[in-house]
Amino acid sequence: MKTSSKTRRAHPEIRLRQLVAALRAALPAAGLEDLPGRVRDLPDERTLRFYTTLGLLAPPLRFDGRRAMYGVKHLVQLLAVKRLQSRGMPVREIRDVLRNLPPARVSDIARIDSGVLRKAMESAAGDPALNLWPRKRSSDREASSGPGEAPSRRKSVRAYRAGPGLYVTVDASSCALSASEIGRKLSAFAKDFFSARQPAGATPGGGA
């Protein structure tokens, strides 16, 4: 698979948890959904950080504050890792195979259509449930309260990114919906919100 520099720039940059979601979305199209044993397991954020220290996954493209941002090349690398794992290759041997390979060769190993990559990246980038601001751990919340005081209710508030410049806060302590249910409702809300703000005849998304 050859990807031009123009196409690469068209892909969104995503956070680590979104990269996990993009990999999950791309696996079926890559024919890697039904794999034996532990090879089938989807790596979590901690595993991907370990892959970075091993050299299996390239460092982030950049940092947005403290948030590491990843691109489509990282998704291709992970698909190549899964492809080689499906052949029974251990992680450290995979590292030796992929080390210093040019992007085109890694893409050849991953064997995934560019349209599938774009769809997986855009789906992960646009899911409000994956754009949660990190919450403090319960121990941190308790420590921030005074002696004998209950943790502040506002510490349970989560902020979801519904779209460009649009964030919605939800008090998790009084909301019965799961994060995925909130995400689906916010997706519908964001679609209506931005549609209502579009001038007559304008193309959604502001594309020229």
Count: domains in the chain: 2
Q: Which stretches of the chain score pLDDT less than 50?
A: 1-9, 133-154, 204-208
Residue 21 is predicted with a pLDDT of 92
Question: Which of 125, 143, 171 is the last residue before a domain boundary?
Answer: 125
Q: What are 83-107's pLDDT values in tens digits?
A: 998 888 998 999 999 988 999 999 9
Residue 173 is predicted with a pLDDT of 62
Same domain, 15 and 103: yes
**Residue in 149, 151, 169, 173 with CA at minimum distance from that of residue 160:** 169
Question: Which of 98, 125, 152 is the last residue before a domain boundary?
Answer: 125
Residue 72 is predicted with a pLDDT of 95
75 inside domain: yes
Please say whether the dihedral angle defined by the alpha carbons of residues 90, 33, 16 and 13, taken in this order, is positive or negative: positive
| CA-based R_g, the chain, Å | 20
Residue 107 is predicted with a pLDDT of 94
170 inside domain: yes
Residue 33 is predicted with a pLDDT of 65
Residue 98 is predicted with a pLDDT of 93
Same domain, 146 and 182: yes
Burial 90-115 (b: 16+ CB within 10 A, else e): eeeebbeebeeeeeeebbebbebebe
190 inside domain: yes
Please say whether the dihedral angle defined by the alpha carbons of residues 142, 143, 148 and 151, taken in this order, is positive or negative: negative
Domain coverage including residue 194: 129-199
